[in-house]
A = this chain, B = another copy of it.
């Protein structure tokens, strides 16, 4: 018989205890997670710690290439990885809408546990809230990650200089396109998979290299938004080369049909790096040896054209790539 989350699963009493035991503690159990304590004691690391947070509101909860459970873990691991840090501890909060099926939550938390194990992170503390029907949407998760920073890295947008090269580690827009396709209202179908994955191996492969200025995972807003962030914080210009940006044919087709550009579409397993031109080929070589980065490409460079973000088109022209303003694609991650 199917069971569903009720408001009493959030009241601090018996049902909440059983929910935590039967789903969260069952899948996420580890030495540090103590569901009877308000706070978890972390082992001593003697390292430089970094902290990051993300909420996950993706809809649908399961999509080609992943689900919200694995996405929570990868998103958190990735934010630390591009900052030069290896995720170790995660806090997890769930805001559950009344009426969610136990089986669905169980499947999600199971996938979350698998992703956490694969990434070598422990979920050390958690919280659950239940909100009345119509005041949420199935489930929202928030994860905060703590990791230790590699002593080899020193990344900052302020290091970026004109002449630096821009690389992406994989095809762009895959996650956004997969989510759009999996939403029934578009009436389309296809084989596009989200790139949902840890990028830690891709990042770690270049931690030891001198000349990496900055890395970022292009989630909401895509690589175009990362380019604007860099341009705004440094004052420099950016030039991408359309012919060099790897985009899957299926992704380009769906974007053309729906009127989106792939450069604004989310990835969830891709890295953008800005590096000294002298090491660009080395990074490319290292990345292409990584399973997740076989389509890595040098896609453009930093210019001295103040705050101009442009793309050189396939036919040799050039056009502005404006900052994303109004196209909202809600609940993409």
Asked if B11 contacts A327 (CB within 8 A), the reply is yes
A82 → chain B closest CB, angstroms: 6
CA–CA, A221 and B266, complex, Å: 41
Query: Number of A interface residues, CB 8 Å?
Result: 80
CA–CA, A80 and B52, complex, Å: 19
A89-B51 in contact given A10-B330, A330-B131 (Cβ < 8 Å): yes
Asked if B136 contacts A79 (CB within 8 A), the reply is no
Against B, the Cβ 8 Å flags (1 = close, 0 = not) of A306-333 are: 0000000000000000011111111100
Asked if A229 contacts B50 (CB within 8 A), the reply is no
A88 → chain B closest CB, angstroms: 11
Is A243 an interface position by the 8 A CB rule?
Answer: no
Asked if A95 contacts B93 (CB within 8 A), the reply is no
Please indicate the chain B residues that have their CB under 8 angstroms from the CB of A264 in the complex: 13
Is A54 an interface position by the 8 A CB rule?
Answer: yes
A140 → chain B closest CB, angstroms: 6
A144 → chain B closest CB, angstroms: 4
Is A146 an interface position by the 8 A CB rule?
Answer: yes
Against B, the Cβ 8 Å flags (1 = close, 0 = not) of A92-136 are: 111100000000000000000000000000001111011110111
Against B, the Cβ 8 Å flags (1 = close, 0 = not) of A263-284 are: 0101000000000000000000
Asked if A144 contacts B53 (CB within 8 A), the reply is yes
CA–CA, A146 and B95, complex, Å: 21
A324-B13 in contact given A51-B124, A54-B93, A126-B53 (Cβ < 8 Å): yes
Is A152 an interface position by the 8 A CB rule?
Answer: no
Asked if B220 contacts A11 (CB within 8 A), the reply is yes
A18 → chain B closest CB, angstroms: 10
Against B, the Cβ 8 Å flags (1 = close, 0 = not) of A44-64 are: 101011111111010000000
Tell me the dominant secondary structure on chain A's binding face. mixed
CA–CA, A177 and B86, complex, Å: 44
A40-B57 in contact given A144-B144, A324-B11, A326-B8 (Cβ < 8 Å): no
Is A294 an interface position by the 8 A CB rule?
Answer: no
15 contacts between A and B (CB under 8 A): A7-B330, A10-B328, A12-B222, A36-B233, A39-B80, A42-B48, A46-B46, A52-B91, A55-B93, A55-B95, A131-B137, A132-B330, A136-B136, A136-B137, A146-B146
The 7 closest A-B pairs by CB, nearest first: A12-B221, A13-B324, A12-B220, A144-B144, A7-B328, A53-B91, A142-B142
Q: Other than the known A38-B79, A53-B126, A132-B331, what 15 A-B pairs have Cβ atoms closer than 8 Å?
A: A7-B330, A13-B327, A37-B83, A38-B80, A38-B216, A39-B80, A42-B51, A55-B127, A55-B129, A55-B142, A95-B140, A127-B142, A130-B330, A135-B136, A136-B137
